[in-house]
Chain A
Amino acid sequence: MPKPLLDIDALTAGYTRPVVGPLSFRLARSEILGVVGPNACGKSTLLAALTGSARIFSGQIGKAAGLQISLQQQQPPAIDGLPINATDLLALTGASPEELPPWLSTQLGKRLDRLSGGQLQFLYLWSCLLAAADVVLLDEPTNNLDPEGTIFLERVLQRRADAGCGLLVVSHDQRFINAVCHRKISLG
């Protein structure tokens, strides 16, 4: 059996006190794993623990040697008044603009503060999703996306998984999780 990309064993994590866990699961190459649960059950905290931003109270996070993780955060930083365009943003993470959906590929020269909420969300998603990584963590990726954007995202996730990447997707959108994930874990 090939070694998993992530091997989580009885993990309890939080900030000043435990928020999530104990939790055990594995993420294999080319797998899309969904994480579901009600608000405040610790879905985002789990991602924060995997990237070292949250405190681990007990348990272990096993990572494959040399593992590169990419994380898309739920709340992008404020961009109002900043002279950054879509091309600049993609260049930061090294994500290629090729194969962007047509409704975004024509907006590459536009400043971020002149894009719609959905366009901005998709751009941030794309920046993290297409960055060189073995594991991609997505936090509520369908926020602000219209049905067309969500369907496009499903296809991109599948392509990324086919290329060998492991994806952990946190979402409250059950339809999206059912459509895209190979299996899911429930919190709370």
Chain B
Amino acid sequence: MNPALLLDPLFAGPFLTGLMFAMLLPLLGCYLRLRGEWLAALAFAQTAAAGSLLAMLAGLPMVFGGLAAAGLAGSLKHAFDGSSHTTQGAAYGLLLLLGWAASVLMVSNLPLAERIGQALFDGQLYFTDQSHLISAAALALASLFVMRLLSQRLLLAHFFPDFLRARGLSGRRAQLVFDLLVAGALALATMSLGVMGAFALIFVPPLVAFAWGGGWRQCLLLATATGVAIYVLAFALALSLDQPFSPLCGLLLVAFAVLSGVLRRLSAGR
């Protein structure tokens, strides 16, 4: 492995773009996992991919299509917020299927969509440019600011819903803003990391951090550190082994989650 490759100007931009998402997605994933809504993340990513393809076919910027479709999915999800977990899970599943079916049909029938579709599903981090980096950095900064404002309300809505209501406050608006933020983040992340690469980063680090975190702040730090560490390792390995980044990152994250699970069991058995 040649660490100098990470500093090569050709790869520095893509590396930094992915790094923004590696820091942001695990953080957002912790709040999704808190509410048992991690499946919604996959639905958002898949819907964003379908929206991007549709925008490209319509001659519009793909990023707008992705953001619009994911935003629509976020709003639809919000409509199910008061429902039972079973109903919510079914709604996310249907949304996921809709995004997948629309994407695959477009890819299968329209030659123009085929190449881009493949890139969206597999990830195209090495081909991202400065505009991707700027939008990823802006999103990461904006998200950190918004999450500082939303965090307590989201946690209160989960642990003390009646307390919040008794104060004449509602968690619903905070939840809607959060859903739209997640949808937007996944739409942009899907453009560079691909559907499953983005999902892996929002799903796996929180899974590990929830098992080990002794408190909420520690959990957020652990999830972010896990996401960043695995991302850097995957990027370096993909470059030196000449492998596609997203599947390798997904594989490393799964391996890390399994290792964490085994260690957790061993430590619990002691």
Residues of A within 8 A of B (CB): 48, 50-53, 68-73, 76-77, 79, 81-85, 87-89, 92-93, 109, 111, 127-128, 131, 137
Contacts and interface: CB of A to CB of B under 8 A. Distances in A.
Contacts of A68: 167
Contact of B159 (A81, A89, A131): A89
Which secondary structure dominates where chain B touches chain A? helix
A83 B165 contact: no
A137 B168 CA distance: 14
Contact of B215 (A77, A92, A109): A109
Given A69-B167, A71-B166, A127 B160 contact: yes
A83 B162 contact: no
Given A127-B160, A128-B163, A92 B218 contact: no
B215 A82 contact: no
Contacts of A93: 156, 160, 163
A72 B161 CA distance: 10
Contact of A52 (B156, B159, B165): B165
B215 A88 contact: yes
A79 to B, nearest CB: 8
Given A82-B210, A83-B209, A92-B155, A71 B162 contact: yes
Interface in B53-84: none
B215 A83 contact: yes
Nearest to A109: B214
A76 B219 CA distance: 21
A87 B210 contact: no
Interface in B150-178: 152, 155-156, 158-163, 165-168
A146 to B, nearest CB: 24
B168 to A, nearest CB: 7
Contact of A77 (B158, B168, B216, B218): B158
A87 B215 CA distance: 8
Given A87-B215, A109-B214, A111-B214, A82 B163 contact: no
A131 B209 CA distance: 29
Interface residues of B, number: 25
Contacts of B158: 77
Given A53-B162, A73-B160, A83-B212, 13 more contacts: A69-B167, A70-B167, A71-B166, A77-B158, A77-B161, A83-B209, A83-B210, A83-B219, A87-B215, A88-B215, A92-B152, A93-B163, A111-B214
11 contacts: A51-B162, A69-B167, A73-B161, A76-B159, A77-B159, A87-B215, A88-B215, A93-B156, A93-B163, A111-B215, A127-B160
A89 B215 CA distance: 10
Nearest to B218: A83
B216 A88 contact: yes
**Most chain A CB inside 10 Å of its own CB: which residue of B214, B215, B218:** B215
Contacts of B218: 83
B215 to A, nearest CB: 4
Contacts of B216: 83-85, 88
A79 B214 CA distance: 13
Nearest to A89: B159
Given A51-B162, A92-B155, A81 B214 contact: no
Given A83-B209, A93-B160, A69 B166 contact: yes
